[in-house]
Amino acid sequence: MMATVVSRRRSRRAVAAAVVIGALLSVVSVARAQRGVASEGEANWPQWRGPHGTGSTNGGNPPIRWSGTENIRWKVSLPGRGSASPVVWGDRLFVVTSVSTDDDAASQGGLFARLRRRIVGNVAPPGVQQYVVMALARTDGRVLWKQVATEEAPHEGRHGTGSWASPSGVVDADQFCAFFGSRGLYCYDHDGRLLWERDLGDMEIRMEFGEGASPALHRDTLVVNWDHQGQSFITALDKRTGEERWRADRDEITSWTTPLVVEYDGVPQVVTSATNRVRSYDLETGRVIWESEGVTMNAIPSPVASDGVVYVTSGYRGSRLWAIRLADASGDVAENGALAWSLDRDTPYVPSPLLHGGILYLVKSNSGILSAFDATSGEQLYGPERLPGIRSVYASPVAVRDRIYLAGREGTILVISAGPTFEVIATNVLDDGFDASPAIAGDELYLRGHQYLYCIAPSS
């Protein structure tokens, strides 16, 4: 009889324990969903700024040091030219590029046009380009498939340091979507079969500096921000069919910022940063939820968010950073106390901020100077600190665990300690240059250089 009672007690305890464990797992699952992080997404790099849209990931352990012969699993030469970052899902890496054809002969125009381009720093539109989508094997860099999305000539010029394939793609478990701006949006399955394509028109970019904003993907909704010198707009598309769900006109000039989808209180919203206004749209309807004064001219850095706060910043012809509390954000956030803190110095021009471990990291302008701030209070933890060996930065920094990876345009990649104290852990130099932002997936770091695409991984 005693054994039966004990057995029943143990059974009840086991059931109770199972209920508690189940509840805890449910809470963890809900918390992860509220952060917009799928469990499998943490092992991948599904978009330009990683699984969280912050440049940060919690999984993986890539090497800290490498050289031309150490901890480089493979490097491959990609055809053409592109500054789009690679994205990763499962055993595949996806990348886009543009390839000049034999009749690629650009005319720089007359004397006045040539002088203007030299002063401004852009190049004239060339002849026909092939806009190419590629999938590579993560194991050895083999090309699994390659598709020419379209073949046509650009209608206007680009910045001298840019490319005709600057926007990064997005990927999930079902498909990869490549965005070539005025040359169209193309979605493929993982085996390279074209699912659909969509032409959104031609952009008129300020100073002919080229197109660069990447799309954002949230569950089955693809978001494209189309800011230019004509009628700007933002649109949400069904990722499975390309059908437009909504479109909202925007009173904006050219921006190069990628929209950020962030969930708050169960409602996904799309945050956009631009010169005239910073706005947040309801992902389901396109309704403006809140807005504020815009950032500076040439808005390029994309927003980041964590723990209910969105950070928007820019750094051309001025410096601006706002930390906006979503709990208080409605209407005009300048009037309802939603601004948590702000900054008017040392903000980035091209690189987007990095948000990792409760700290916001900012590259000053495009220079090799870094600052770190407490993301909650805005307290400056360090900086501006000069980054040894780096003079110019376009790539946005990324982070995993206790380290930050920051790539310079001249070929130096620094590994910096993540935390409140500035410390360079390692300096790695490759005979290449880097404009595309790095990607981290598992124990691998992917670097797209001017010459090669590298897989940095522990030597076996």
pLDDT in tens, 250-278: 999 999 999 999 999 999 999 999 999 99
Higher pLDDT, 118 or 74: 74
- What was the pLDDT predicted at 209? 94
Which tops the pLDDT comparison, 37 or 365? 365
What CATH topology corresponds to 85-213? Thrombin, subunit H (2.40.10)
- Give dist(CA 235, CA 249) in Å, integer: 9
pLDDT digits (tens, 9 = 90+) for 205-254: 999 999 999 999 999 999 999 999 999 999 999 999 999 999 999 999 99
**CA–CA gap between residue 255 and residue 239 (Å, rounded):** 23
What pLDDT is recorded for position 69? 83
Q: How far apart are CA 186 and CA 183, in angstroms?
A: 10
pLDDT at site 277: 98
- Checking if the pLDDT of 369 tops 70, the result is yes
Pairing of strands 398-400, 56-57: parallel
Could you give the percent of the chain with pLDDT greater than 70?
87
CA–chain centroid gap for 53, Å, is: 6
349 in Cβ contact with 340 (< 8 Å): no
User: How confident is the prediction for the chain on average, in pLDDT?
Assistant: 90
**pLDDT category of residue 347 using cuts at 50, 70 and 90:** very high
90 band by pLDDT with thresholds 50, 70 and 90? very high
pLDDT of residue 5 exceeding 70: no
- Assigned token pair, 151: 């073949």
* Contact yes or no for 446/454 (Cβ under 8 A): yes
Q: What is the pLDDT of residue 119?
A: 67
Q: What percent of the chain has pLDDT over 90?
A: 83
| pLDDT exceeds 60 at position 107 | no
Amino acid 36: pLDDT: 34
Distances (CA, A) of 297 to 224, 439, 454: 20, 28, 34
d(C-alpha 344, C-alpha 321), whole Å: 7
Supply the pLDDT for residue 365.
97
Average pLDDT on 334-351 reads 95
Using 50, 70 and 90 to split pLDDT, how confident is the model at 121?
A: confident
383-402 CB burial, b ≥16 within 10 A, e <16: bbbebebbeebbbbbbbbbe
Amino acid at 205: I
Min mean pLDDT across 111-125, 161-175, 332-346 is at 111-125
Task: State the Cα–Cα distance between residues 80 and 333, nearest whole angstrom.
Answer: 44
Residue 147, CB-side half-sphere exposure with 13 Å CA sphere: 18
* Domain residue spans of the chain: 85-213
Collapsing DSSP states into helix, strand and coil, what is residue 121? Answer: coil
The pLDDT-based confidence of 13 (bands split at 50, 70, 90) is: very low
Cis before 215? omega within 30: no
142 contacts: CB under 8 Å, gap ≥ 6: 136
More confident residue, 103 or 328: 328
Q: Residue 242: what pLDDT? A: 98
Q: Is the pLDDT of residue 41 over 90?
A: no
Banded model confidence at residue 1, pLDDT cuts 50, 70, 90: very low
